[in-house]
Amino acid sequence: MVQFSMLIKFVKSQIADSEKSILRCGYAKIIDRRMGKTSFAKRIHRDFYPRFHVYIKTEGDSVVFDLHLDQKRPIYEGVTAHSGEYDGEVIEREAERVKNAIILATTKA
């Protein structure tokens, strides 16, 4: 049914609208016009960083939420790489929170 490491996977039929689902979890939409990518971020406190960052993609009959923690803004101009964490207790807790919130929302629908 649902699996996660730092990838949170759902069967497509479980989620009517993946974007709406992540927005309901407190994430804001980010459109990177340079890279042509859409992602979602949730601040941990009032500063812009650190923040949770999610990319959503479709793989076959699955919807995958790819979660990591951005520690700080990219250092070099023109470089999109940053200091990100892809595992650990903080990421695991957030992945579990997102997974449970989406499951709860889909069972109420």
Query: Could you tell me the residue ranges of all domains in the chain?
Result: 3-108
Q: Pick the residue with more confidence: 2 or 15?
A: 15
**Three-class SS of residue 19?**
helix
pLDDT (average), residues 23-27: 97
CATH assignment, 3-108: 3.30.530
Block residue for tokens 């993609």: 57
Q: Angle at CA 13, nearest 5°, toward 102 and 58? A: 80
Q: Quote the CA–CA distance of 47 and 32 in Å, as a whole number.
A: 20
Helix (H) or strand (E) holding 91, with range, is helix 89-108
Q: Which residues contact 33 (CB under 8 A, 6 or more apart)?
A: none
pLDDT tens per residue across span 31-86: 999 889 999 999 999 998 889 999 999 999 999 999 999 888 766 555 555 455 55
- What is residue 33's DSSP assignment? T
